[in-house]
Structure 1
Amino acid sequence: MARIKPQALLQQSKKKKGPTRISVTTIILCNLVVVLIVFFLFSTYRHWSQRSRFQTDNQFSASEDGNAFMDAKKADVPGYAVLNTSKGFVTVELFKESSPEVVDEFIDLCQKGHFKGVLFNRVIKHYVIQAGTAQGLGATEDWTLRGKHYNQLDMSLNLKHEAFMLGTSKGKRNDKGFELFITTAPIPNLNEQLIVFGQVVKGEEVVQEIEEVDTDENYRPKSSIGIINVSLRQKI
């Protein structure tokens, strides 16, 4: 068998095809496709992310606007009433949150001047002072029994409510029948008798001075004591 010469082997190896090379153009095109796919995915994610955030912000803004409106509405309601009485000034904080309807009614009557010249027509020590025109908590006989009871009451008992609370009688009220009661001692059955809508924060001594006036057997003051006017304030 004839031997192949080294030169012939070299020529045959040169003739064999080497591995196929990827052209530079193909690489560039593949990279561009990958970049475009990544860019498309990123743009899609960013679009939906911004849209979701925009909707959330709109809902939050609407909620804030609604809350701001409600807060502004509440802020417009006066928080205090100053009763200018013939014995001095009594400042009352109004319970706007717990008794909004009664507070609104009271404020409306104050703005109409309803309480100008209204007299304190019942004064019972260790119980209440009442300003108004109707009988309120009961007939004259009932007032007399209450007066005797609370004058003899042991005030060391653990009672439910404190003194100097502002309230009005329960039941149907109107422009002529709205009465004011200021407690002068803790009252155990206050919720059964009154709607409490405020508390005296200044002028307790004036309330006590009214409480000490001379009264007849029906607990009516012998000398006229009344409310000169009522002014409303946001702050004190």
Structure 2
Amino acid sequence: MKRLFTLAFILLTAAAFAKPPKNQYVKISTAYGEVIIRLYNETPQHRDNFIKLAKKGFYNGTLFHRVIQNFMIRGGDPDSRDTSKNKAGAELGNGDVGYTVPSEFYESLFHKRGALAAARDDNPAKASSGCQFYIVEGKRFTDEELDKLIKGRLKGREIPAAQREIYKSVGGTPHLDQNYTVYGEVVTSIDMVDRIAAVKKDEHDRPLENVPMTVTVLSKGECKDLDKLLGLDK
């Protein structure tokens, strides 16, 4: 009986350690630093697509090809790896992977500072690009500015009170909410985004010097540690 109890205890302990992390994290590295991003479980199609591409090394060597200070930095265009197109002045932003990802909108997922969101072209379903994304730098808003947005670009859509406070204290880009899918957020080193957003650029918002990236999917152990550090392991 004692041996059976010991065996059961070992099996239960092993099962506990084998339990997967609650969240998946990825790391984006550049010459300007690196960020770690938590991908949202609420947007599984975008999460899984990003992980699939990252594991294949799709993003490695692609550029942050469009940057606007106090707004966002955009990357993930496969054309930016093409030596005939990644020279300064060449237009980027039209590359794709041959498919789109259906929009996954939730009121609780919004464009606060550090949000990861999917770029897209102008399509009625608001389906996302299969590969291009942006990270929000954003800016802080006053109540007056938010009220003006609601009456104007938001066409009367109210901003929830909790989000309103974040847009006032932390910042973001509220006019993009419910138009582009938000599917993750920066959890460490947001200053990388600030540095890239501040680089010199041309009239098309392309950095004058290329900003390539490397994207790494963190291991289960690393994800568990981050869940614990962020208090998301409960």
TM-score with structure 1 setting the length = 0.53
State how far apart, in whole Å, the 2-side matches of 1:100 and 1:87 are.
29
Does 2:204 correspond to 1:218? Answer: yes
When the two chains are superposed, the root-mean-square deviation of aligned CA atoms in Å is 2.6
Give, as a single letter, the amino acid of the residue that structure 2 aligns with 1:214.
K
State how far apart, in whole Å, the 2-side matches of 1:225 and 1:193 are.
27
State how far apart, in whole Å, the 2-side matches of 1:161 and 1:101 are.
18
State how far apart, in whole Å, the 1-side matches of 2:128 and 2:45 are.
13
Which structure dedicates a bigger proportion of its chain to helix?
1
State how far apart, in whole Å, the 1-side matches of 2:74 and 2:128 are.
17
Residues 1-236 of structure 1 aligned to structure 2 (within 5 Å): 75=20, 79-96=24-41, 98-133=42-77, 161-170=111-120, 171=127, 173-174=129-130, 178-185=131-138, 186-233=172-219, 234-235=223-224, 236=226
Q: 1:172 to 1:124 in 2, by over 3 A?
A: closer
Gaps of 5+ in 2: 1-14, 80-90, 92-109, 121-126, 139-171, 227-234
Rg larger in 1 or in 2? 1
Q: Check the 8 A contact 1:85/1:225 in 2, yes or no.
A: yes
Gaps of 5+ in 1: 1-67, 141-159
Q: 1:93 to 1:112 in 2, by over 3 A?
A: same
Give, as a single letter, the amino acid of the residue that structure 1 aligns with 2:217.
S
Name the structure, 1 or 2, with higher relative contact order (CA <8 Å, separation 6+): 2
Q: Which runs of 4+ in 1 moved over 3 A?
A: none
Q: Check the 8 A contact 2:118/2:129 in 1, yes or no.
A: no
TM-score with structure 2 setting the length = 0.53
